[in-house]
Amino acid sequence: MTVNQLKWNALFVAIATLFACNSDQPKEATETVEQQVEIPTEQKTIEINGVEHFFTIKGNSEGEPILFLHGGPGLSHNYLLPYFDELAANYQLIFYDQRGSGKSAFPEDTTSINIAAFVEDIEAIRKHFDKDKITLAGHSWGSLLALHYGQKYPDNLTQLILISPAPTTSAHYEKMLSNMQQKRKEEDTKELVKLMMSKEFEKRDPETFTKAMKIGDKANLYDQTKVDELYELHNYNEKTAGNFWLVSNIMEKNFFNYDITSEINNITCPSIIIIGDMDNVPFASNQLLSETLKNTKLEVIKETGHYPFFEDSKAFSNALNNFLNPEYQD
């Protein structure tokens, strides 16, 4: 058992094991009772670069910080929260909604919804928590954002965790869209178009908006029947739905005529790319990324799509723990 596992057991799991050892009595089956202790969690709003940002902070306040960057652009961090608790014993897990997204405020100046501002928000968060260096864990669009931060602030990174990175080039982006459309059932396409043309969608009715998001995202799962379960943590109201739509449309221009790999040659910190073998993002995109980063490893989780931490949490956890702690044993 590793040191990390011992700490986890000491801090978060109380185990009572009952043995029937009397040879004069029939032996009873060994019973192990595990009682999870609640992980310290704090939710609060912090002003970052003039914009109120919503945070969830979990785990060991004295541990190394991991800052999580959600996907989108325009989603919230809610859907990431349940999948990293195993790290809470030894790390401070910092989740936040990016500017204009989720429960964070939408800036008065809409021109500040841009990559440069997102990068400076991360830097301001690092300074707010008084950390010399941070590990960034990005999912999808969040991985691209992590790379942009690393390009500008390479010396402030401990490690990079890139989960199902968004396409690295505009050509790969177009291929991803094509792959999604091929996987999407004809009836889902028709229903999606119908929903998006409805008055309810135009008004950002939460029920209609969530239904459209589910149908759109189904193609990103290996097992599309699990989309309802995936979306249990995606909560929209008229405001957050409207903000998502606005942020995603403002940021859309960044996915045309780009190549992130031309900008990240200065990133040297250890990094890992974790992807699903059935992700719509072309494997060539992640292969190019792994070849460009100087100190990285590429892990592929079988029978998963764009959400490997959701579709196979155990395999994902093993890959992540083996990266963070080479002595880790399942």
Ranges in the chain, pLDDT < 70: 1-37, 327-330
Q: Residue 328: what pLDDT?
A: 59
C-alpha separations of 256 from 27, 96, 139, 287 in Å? 68, 27, 20, 20
Instruction: Give the model's pLDDT for residue 255.
Output: 87
Note whether 126 and 66 are within 8 A (CB): no
Q: Residue 256: helix, strand or coil by DSSP?
A: coil
* Total residues belonging to the chain: 330
- What integer pLDDT is reported at residue 36 of this predicted model? 61
Cβ atoms of 278 and 220 closer than 8 Å: no
Residue 25: the pLDDT is: 41
CATH class held by domain 40-173+251-270: alpha beta
Percent of the chain predicted with pLDDT > 90: 84
Rounded to 10°, the helix 186-196/206-217 angle is: 150
Q: Which of 209, 218, 220, 214 is nearest to 244 (CA)?
A: 209
What is the Rg, in whole angstroms, of the alpha carbon atoms belonging to the chain? 21
Q: Which residues pair with 94 in a beta bridge?
A: 57, 67
The residue ranges of every structural domain in the chain are 40-173+251-270
Q: Tell me how far apart the alpha carbons of residues 111 and 105 are, in angstroms, rounded to a whole number.
A: 14
